[in-house]
Amino acid sequence: MFTMNAGNSVKVDQSVAAYLATLASINLNDKDLASLTVDLGNIIKYIEQLGELDTSGVGPTFQLTGLNNVWREDKIQSQLPREDLLDLAPDKTTNSVKVPKVL
């Protein structure tokens, strides 16, 4: 499906575009399929250009905004009584909410 040319560049042929369109459940005519093939080829060329960048001095970036997670202390807070919550359930059994079997 994908072919490599002499410069180790990936070339997308029309069968790849047709396969991806099938996976995406998209019906394409021949003109749109040809256009998609060109677009996919351009995307792969761009990705290959990114691979040529020297990133040896760049560390991984996990957070761009500088925001930190806000954590709260995990402590027990007041709750509704179990009986009140069970009264809200559509079906219940002894101290439990009854749900349909899932197999």
The answer to the question of residue 8 being in a domain is: yes
Q: What angle do CA 56, 58, 64 make, to 5 degrees?
A: 160
What CATH code is carried by the domain that includes residue 6? 1.10.20
For 20, the domain range is 2-51
Contacts of 33 by beta carbon, 8 Å cutoff, 6+ apart: 14, 17, 18, 21
Task: Write the DSSP assignment of 20-61 as a string of letters.
Answer: HHHHTT----HHHHHHHHHHHHHHHHHHHHHHTS--TTPPP-
Average pLDDT, integer, range 27-47: 93
Give the predicted TM-score (pTM) of the model.
0.49
pLDDT tens sequence across 51-100: 888 988 888 887 778 788 888 888 887 788 888 888 899 998 888 999 88
What does the DSSP 8-state code read for residue 3? E
Looking at the DSSP assignment, which residues form a beta bridge with residue 97?
A: 92
